[in-house]
Amino acid sequence: MSPPRVAIVGATGAVGHEFLRVLAERDFSMRSLKLLASARSAGKTLSYAGEDHVVEALDENSFRGVDLAFFSAGGGTSLEFAPKAVAAGCAVIDNSSAYRMHADVPLIVPEVNRTSMGQHQGILANPNCSTIILVLALAPLQQRAGLQSVVVSTYQAASGAGQRAMDELHESTRAVLAGEQPAKPDALAHSLAFNLFPHVDVFMPDGFTREEDKMLFEVRKILAMPKLNVDATCVRVPVTRCHSESVSVQLDQPLTVAEAQDLFAQAPGIELLDQPAANLYPMPRDYAGRDEVAVGRVRLGRVFDPGLTFWLVGDQLKKGAALNAVQIAEAL
């Protein structure tokens, strides 16, 4: 098979830029690269592997002569254009939430459920960023000790809300430090400078947010555990681009801390950093730009018995988005 002709839809966005970095870093084999965005960006140039590429406006003819398209331009764009791409013979790896829960769309974290990829009919979905980094840690526990329930609080970086949210965080922080009133936020519900808020995506009638629902339903689908309960609280924090999560799990079988640490240390995609006596535990600053999801603060739970409580950190733009999508493409 010759290498694919690749397109990136949403190439000018935060995840789009990360796609370019990850594809170059992994020396992804491709015959050609097409960069697509809204008409606002048509004619801009972006550099890939030392070469300038002109951004084109996305339209229905964009996928002629393209074999593989990474979509990261919002759910509306995916709903409208992914079927057109598939009709043109292109495989789609979609980073939006538009198709994740469709029965005929595999929702893939390659280290966990790559065997489900075979069922795809043109579209494969990349899970929600907080979900990806969580299931990497849940899967080895599920396999070894069985999972009963999960309680998770996220500490989500601005990057999850796109490039404008990162710009708003930087600009509002600068304004506060200069003694100015920060501008009214646009990409985020509130100003993030010296602040945080328990609100990621929209509120649902039962009081959870859609982000919290994504974590429940996507974890269930990826782990093939339709009855697993996941109680999530998603919090936006003033960090630029790396998410953290505090996780408590109820298990079927007890695990000692040493056994759990060993499981995490062996698990693909995870790095164990758990030496609290030396002040060593994962922090977003240290894992921004890294491929691995880091796990630390592993301890026996005090509420769930048998259970464990731990902390994890993963780059939202990398394993939480572009890297996972590129790994799906590599597995394809």
The site for ligand A2P (CB under 6 A) is made up of 10-16, 37-38, 40-41, 58, 73-74, 77, 162-164
Minimum Å distance from CB 58 to ligand A2P?
Answer: 4
Judge whether 190 counts as a catalytic residue.
no
Q: Any alpha helices (H) in the chain, and if so which ranges?
A: 14-25, 75-87, 110-113, 129-145, 163-177, 210-223, 257-266, 284-287, 323-331
- In the complex with ligand A2P, the residue whose CB is nearer, 13 or 269, is 13
Whether the CB-CB separation of 131 and 214 falls below 8 Å is answered with: yes
187 vs 265, beta carbon nearer ligand A2P: 187
Residue number, nearest CB to ligand A2P = 13
Instruction: Quote the least distance from Cβ 179 to ligand A2P, whole Å.
Output: 30
Peptide bond into 185 cis (omega under 30): no
Q: How far is the CB of 105 from ligand A2P (least distance, A)?
A: 20
Contact 251, 326 (CB under 8 A): no
Could you give the strand order of the β-sheet that contains 5-9, starting from the edge strand earlier in sequence? 45-48, 51-57, 32-37, 5-9, 68-71, 91-94, 123-125
Q: How far apart are CA 63 and CA 114, in angstroms?
A: 26
Residue with Cβ nearer ligand A2P (55 or 272): 55
Question: What's the token pair of residue 238?
Answer: 């003033």
Asked if residue 124 lies in contact with residue 117, where contact means CB atoms within 8 angstroms, the answer is: yes
Which one-letter DSSP state was computed for residue 41?
A: G
What does the alpha-carbon distance between residue 187 and residue 80 come to, in Å, rounded to a whole number? 23
Instruction: Give the strand pairing for 68-71 and 5-9.
Output: parallel
Q: How many CB atoms lie within 10 A of CB 86?
A: 17
d(CA 235, CA 19): 25
Question: Which member of 90, 129, 234, 242 is catalytic?
Answer: 129
Q: Which of 51, 47, 93, 43 is CA-nearest to residue 73?
A: 93
State the residue for tokens 């789009």.
16
Alpha carbons 8 and 17: distance in angstroms, whole number = 10
Nearer of residues 120 and 319 to ligand A2P, judged by Cβ:
319
Least distance between ligand A2P and beta carbon 54 (Å): 13
Shortest Å distance, C-beta 190 to ligand A2P: 18
To ligand A2P, the closest distance from the beta carbon of 38 in angstroms equals: 3
Task: Output 167 or 286, the one with its CB closest to ligand A2P.
Answer: 167
SS3 36: strand
Residues 17, 53, 120, 243: which is the catalytic one? 243
Is 129 annotated as catalytic? yes
User: Between 58 and 152, whose beta carbon lies closer to ligand A2P?
Assistant: 58
Minimum distance from residue 187 beta carbon to ligand A2P (Å): 7
Active site residues: 129, 243
